[in-house]
Structure 1
Amino acid sequence: MTTASRTVVGNLCLGSAPDSWGVWFPEDDRQVPFTRFLDELVTAGYRWLELGPYGYLPTDPEQLAEEVGSRGLQVSGGTTFGALHRPHEWDGMVAHTRRVAELTAAAGAHHLVFIPPMYRDERTGEFTESPELTPEQWASLGKRADELGKILLEEYDVRLCLHPHADSHIQTQAEIERYLNESDSRYANLCLDTGHVAYGRGDAIDLVRRYAERIGYVHIKQMDPEIIEQVYAENLAFGEAVKRGVCVEPPAGVPNPATVVAALSELDAEIFVIVEQDLYPCAPEVPLPIAVRTREYLGSIGLAGSKRPGARA
């Protein structure tokens, strides 16, 4: 894979992800082909990308390297899903996570974004399990996160970054903090998704300041506060909230992107800041103009500054 240049402001490195092109699933006829996503990512001015759902981009390392490298792109991290609180799924989940970690490492990346399952169906909004974990499930979740993170770090040189998510058991500020307190910073850390934290009525800036050493990776995203209020007033599922436009492009919504960038820039670590705007489903022509405007806005607040040769984050 060719070496790209990072777009950085101090310690921050800007990228984007398939999510910003309306991609939620490995295969879906309402999603753009991966080649169009990669081409438009370049057109929008990005040079770094997260892999997105395993199977959307090529899973053969050589093919992935060709598709990404031929466009002057480079991979910031991989993405996977798994239920740390379900012991009966452990073996299968670890096996799948290993495959994603192997591809991530082969692409030269060192972060694996781990997304917990939603307790409501992604398409229908129906509850599939209780929204509350028991104390025993919480304790197991922390231990399992450590165990998985240790495997990833020692065998693949990839760091586990758990991603808080709407309609998951790690959504609210209290749940995020409980995960951090139940797990070991050597092996299990946080992908700070600013939009999902806001969706759960949390405070991303507070998390940055109090848990700086646990933030290994960031998704920068904004949510419409009026639609968030509708979520709680009407008991909406996340899929319905996305259809209503809960995820908005900057500088609209919360939290304030400039405040987030300022807080992250004070940390003593190099951090990928990956743009996400949940758009599923959307018309094929929708994502590119948004991606261009978003990169231009982030540049205006300093996140698209100087370039330097890529180095490990």
Structure 2
Amino acid sequence: MNIYELMRIFIEIVEAGSFSQAAENLQIHRPAVTKALQQLEQHCGVRLLHRTTRRINLTPEGEEFYRNSKPLLEQTDDLLGSFSTDRALCGQLRVDMPVAIASLLVVPNLPDFYRSYPGVEIILSSSDRRRDMLRDGLDCVLRVGALEDGDYVARKMMNVRLVTCASPAYLAEYGTPETLDDLQHHQGVNWFNISSRQIMPWVFQSSSGIEEIHLPGKLVLDNSEVYVSAGLAGLGLLQGMDFFLRPHIATGRLVEVLPNNPVPARTLSVLYPHRHISPKVRVFTQWLETLLKVLC
């Protein structure tokens, strides 16, 4: 095999998480995958992976090789594709985004994307936890809010409006808060940030600036869909993305509160593991940006 193919197999091993899955994805025999890695390690003169019977882990040299070889391979594919008579985009695109954005915005509109790019296969993971793009082999990630320091390239897509609300049953029992001082008599469904291991404060705009408040509550969650379910069940006030809560407000299942103390908007960003952006990633993020501006 040439070095180009060895690199491709190595990247597939890392992103698939196993030799067997990599062989299946590439439609080659399992021994060929093992031999390819051995040849690549011999060529590099270092061990790239720690291998056990159950899992694989990148060595520090392997992480560096993966980080630099993936964009190089993508640029090579793009170059070769530019001379092809059939320039239709094809291949896998690995994306991660928050549950709310995936379930309410992206997935329902994916048929439109596939009509334009039928050859692209999207591997979409949706979670409200931070993902390691290098370790998980992701091409891009969507994130809402402040970004942590990391080895990635970030681009702002838009500002997302947030809203505070509660169910009619909750308001009937506890009353409707009219001021921020009233919140000391209320219950909040609190949000737990897995990355920081902290319960997130509630944020409001007031005449004196931005205020952070810690609401008492009996329930702390880290999943946005369960979070909304808790609010609908009357377990406390909610504070979240407007597009996620607005359908329930429109039907009367939730009621917006504290309109005079709006929640500061948060930034929606797209993150890339490196500066080289493949055509697949570029067309997907452009489509996504247009979609979000229309629907949000």
TM-score range, shorter chain: under 0.3
Between Structure 1 and Structure 2, the one with more strand by share is 2
Higher relative contact order (CA 8 A, sep 6+): 1
Bigger radius of gyration, 1 or 2? Answer: 2
TM-score by length of 2: 0.26
